[in-house]
Structure 1
Amino acid sequence: MGLSYAMISKGRLLAGGVILFALVCLVATLDFSRGRVPETTSPLVGDVLAATTARECGRDATEVVSRHLPAGIEQAAAESILKAATIVPPQPWFWTPVMETATTWTGDTLEALRTIKTTAFGTNLLRVHLTFGDGKLRRLAAEVVCRFG
């Protein structure tokens, strides 16, 4: 009887360990798949995050961005606002956040790409296209794009 009782106890202990491990994995996965609310001092990023959710990939964000970058704004001021559009990446223990920041000029058009949210499963990026003329903003287009993996 001692042998079977010991086997049952070890089986219960093993099952308890597996269940505990599964719960920890579930909580960690849910926590990091939703992503934490990014810390930012940028009003632009804050407004875009408030207007979108993680499931809205390819969402047009032109209306939200145009509140911060109105037509006619000086080029230097627009570049300054885009430069400040950053987040403080999370400091998780089991994955490394991917932060993307890129600015590309093609003639009078500026394309800026900024990470606005990062999780263990992908990132949300704000892509902004600005067209300038005579040193002032003439056209604006913005969208939230997602990259998984």
Structure 2
Amino acid sequence: MIKPPARQTRAIAERRRQLDIDERYGDDRFHLTFLPLGDTRDVPETAIELLHQAICAADLEPFPIELARLSGNAMQVGKGAANMCRVQQRLVRQLLALGMALPDYRLRPHLSLTYGERSNRSARFPPIAWHADRLLLIRSIHGEGRHEPVREWRLTPRQGVFDF
């Protein structure tokens, strides 16, 4: 998963309030799913080590993310979506080369603002942007509405990165 930095998390929460969207989904849970691995309670340590090897071998760099459009209950990634998909596919290729079985998943970069009743909302707003510079493996505690960190990997730029 990818989590927005603190400043962007506050901006996302404020935009959610302005859009009058249910706030029961905690700000601390804002994230973009990068590659689901299934129920992490069932992911053995060997798979986590394969993930580590793949991330290191894929030489993944930070990439920009920009949220500027609401569709339903989610902010859609506009600028940066293609980069995010390329980085994810690079990781998938490495994982498959290492023999890791992966779920059938097509990345559609978005950040959910709430769960529950579907919505037909649509809106554009000033961009909320950052460079994704880390990937997180989390355990989603179903029924409790929380994420438990398992491991984190920093993405290292090969060239300078400018802040938004």
Does the pair score TM above 0.5?
no
Give TM-score, length-normalised by structure 1. 0.23
Give TM-score, length-normalised by structure 2. 0.21
Name which one, 1 or 2, has greater alpha-carbon Rg. Answer: 1
